[in-house]
Amino acid sequence: MTSALPPIAETSAQAVMDLERDYLLQTYARYPLALSRGKGCYLYDLEGRRYLDFLSGIGVNALGHAHPRILKVVREQAGLLMHCSNLYYHEYQGPLAKRLVDMGGLDRVFFANTGAEAIEGALKMIHSHGRAIHPEKYQIVSLDNSFHGRTLGALSITGQAKYRADFEPLIPGVKFVPPNDIPALEAAVNEQTAGIVMELIQGEGGINPLTPQYVAKARELADRFDALLVADETQRSVTRSRESIVQRRTRFAVGIDAADRDRR
Ligand SMILES: Cc1ncc(COP(=O)(O)O)c(C=O)c1O
């Protein structure tokens, strides 16, 4: 058997970087560090040097690396069934959805692979909600300095021009307003608004929390103008909006609105 690639353990960091540079689309500027494994809160590079992981995969590896219980479950499941499409039922989807609903005070869950995909789902829900009321009701209000992902829809509502510039025109009818500016929000939301999207604490834009008064005003305006209020919790962590946004019967997140429409 012949192989063009040396075994991983013998690969130098420089070789890893060279290979990526030659064969990967160069969409990210990376730090010159090639990581090989992690344990708990530590990461190790190819030469075995240890690093304290302050970044945790941009907030993704909250449970640390190689946690024994996670490893056990992943190993067991890999030996049973790696993937089945959503054409079929799977015994774990229902229990996980119920757990998230119980924790978050929401009605239903939509599973997605990435934050951007979750936002795409929310955008589709906003548009279909608006269209069901009036064909001109498709405007979305989003916040300056926000980040919602790198797909075209998510970029359209990302309030940082540097990310959008190369890909315009994006989806129409998006208005950006400064966070925590209640008069600006009141001026932006009207009968044509189908949705308001916000991170309750902006992540990528800096650690910028929204005030409770501002979020309450967004809730009130969304209710008054029959718009959906979407909290993007990709970075902040799922279900933490319960106290701040989900009041009364709300049209708030992807699942709730679907249930809402079913009832109409
Ligand atoms: C608030 C927010 N929304 C959406 C995304 C996109 O998530 P993903 O990279 O999983 O597509 C991010 C990513 O950092 C994010 O911080």
Cα atoms in the 13 Å half-sphere on the side-chain side of 85: 1
Contact 177, 188 (CB under 8 A): yes
Q: Using the mean position of ligand 1's atoms as its centre, give its distance from the Cα of residue 148 in Å.
A: 5
Q: Ligand 1 pocket test: pick from 117, 148, 155, 202 the residue with the most ligand atoms within 8 Å of its Cβ.
A: 148
Cα atoms in the 13 Å half-sphere on the side-chain side of 119: 27
Q: What is the pTM of this model?
A: 0.85
Listed in order, strand segments (DSSP E) in the chain are 35-39, 42-45, 50-52, 139-143, 174-177, 193-198, 201-202, 208-209, 228-231
Read off the pLDDT of residues 148-205 as tens digits, 9 standing for 90 and up. 999 999 999 999 999 999 999 999 999 999 999 999 999 999 999 999 999 999 988 8
State whether residue 122 is helix, strand or coil.
Answer: helix
**Which residues sit with their C-beta closer than 6 Å to ligand 1?**
58, 114-116, 119, 147-149, 199, 203-204, 232, 234-235
**What are the pLDDT tens digits along the chain (264 aa)?**
444 555 555 679 999 999 999 999 998 888 999 999 999 999 999 999 999 999 888 877 888 999 999 999 999 999 999 999 889 999 999 999 999 888 877 789 898 888 999 999 999 999 999 999 999 999 999 999 999 999 999 999 999 999 999 999 999 999 999 999 999 999 999 999 999 999 999 988 888 999 999 999 999 999 999 999 999 988 877 665 554 444 332 333 333 333 333 433
pLDDT of residue 29: 87
Q: Using the mean position of ligand 1's atoms as its centre, give its distance from the Cα of residue 224 in Å.
A: 29
Contacts of 60 by beta carbon, 8 Å cutoff, 6+ apart? none
| CA gap 198, 233 in Å, rounded | 9
Q: Using the mean position of ligand 1's atoms as its centre, give its distance from the Cα of residue 147 in Å.
A: 7
Q: Using the mean position of ligand 1's atoms as its centre, give its distance from the Cα of residue 14 in Å.
A: 29
Strands 50-52 and 42-45: antiparallel
